[in-house]
Amino acid sequence: MNTIRTFMLLAAMTALFMGLGYLIGGAGGAAIAFLVAAAMNLFAWWNSDKMVLRMYKAQRVDETVAPNYVRIVKELARRANMPMPATYIVDNPQPNAFATGRNPEHAAVAATTGLIAMLTPEELAGVMAHELAHIRNRDTLTMTVTATIAGAISMLANFALFFGGNRNAGGFIGTLALAILAPMAAALVQMAISRTREYSADAGGAEISGNPLWLASALERMDAAARRAPNETAEANPATAHMFIVNPLNGRGRDNLFSTHPATGNRISALRQLAQAMGEAARRPWG
């Protein structure tokens, strides 16, 4: 269901892009904007792991430095039949984690010092399984495609605002409305896709770890702790917020249109329902 929803949202963004290009009347301009946005996002996708890890001053670790953390990731990768990702630690008190890399063969996972210090081994396994699910699902690619289309829409909107659009599409008022509303609509769809991929990674992580309740427990504790420990780097770079397992910007409340993450309570409820469906299989111990 989440895959179908993601496809439908991507189709909606594509339709919005094509419709905006048609209303502006610049087929050539639309093509140029799309190519430029695609080139920018291709560069970001290819170098995303280096850029983000450097931004958060992540340090690569092995079993001699962080034995429990690295062994958990190694065991989860074995269970998921995936290549072992590079393991990093971010010196930050906020309990959080993210995955990056252009594909499973060039992937990395990072956990904050706050996360490793706070969680039990079972909860840590639930969180890292979620990150491995992101890698397995190639969510980095999905979000890059989404960002490409959103960037192209913004470029077209700016082109229409500064150079004028199709006079038959409502004149100046119509062009102004398009320039303002189209990027907003694209951003809303982009955030909706991000929320959908989080639900999919929750389910995939529960499958990898074997116990949905480990992640449910971790999310509950992480969400409460994240509100008390701001992530200054994420606050300065909000475009990276969607990468983290819980919102590093301390978002709260119901699922809303302007959030990159589903409400934590909704995620926990879904995981508990999944645990009930799995029955005894969801109660096996870690290790």
pLDDT tens-place string over residues 65-111: 999 999 999 999 999 999 999 999 999 999 999 999 888 999 999 99
Q: Which of 191, 187, 195, 217 lies closest to 262 in space, CA to CA?
A: 195
Burial class (CB in 10 A: 0-12, 13-18, 19+), 52: buried
Provide the whole-model pTM: 0.79
Average pLDDT, the chain: 81
Cα separation, 84 vs 79, in Å, equals 11
The one catalytic residue among 75, 122, 123, 131: 131
pLDDT tens-place string over residues 99-116: 998 889 999 999 999 999
Confidence at 171, pLDDT banded by 50, 70, 90: low
pLDDT at 74: 97
Query: Is the pLDDT higher at 30 or at 65?
Result: 65
DSSP secondary structure string, 217-266?
HHHHHHHHHHTTS--HHHHH-GGGGGGBSS-TT---SS--TT-SS--HHH
Confidence at 189, pLDDT banded by 50, 70, 90: confident
Cα separation, 55 vs 238, in Å, equals 12
Q: 23-43 b/e with 16+ CB inside 10 Å = b?
A: bbebeebbeebbeebbeebee
Confidence at 227, pLDDT banded by 50, 70, 90: confident
Q: Residue 232 catalytic?
A: no
Instruction: Point out the least confidently predicted range of 42-56, 218-232, 252-266.
Output: 252-266
Cα separation, 5 vs 75, in Å, equals 31
Burial class (CB in 10 A: 0-12, 13-18, 19+), 68: exposed
Task: Identify each DSSP E strand in 77-200 by its residue range.
Answer: 86-90, 97-103, 106-112
Q: Which of 207, 218, 216 lies closest to 80 in space, CA to CA?
A: 207
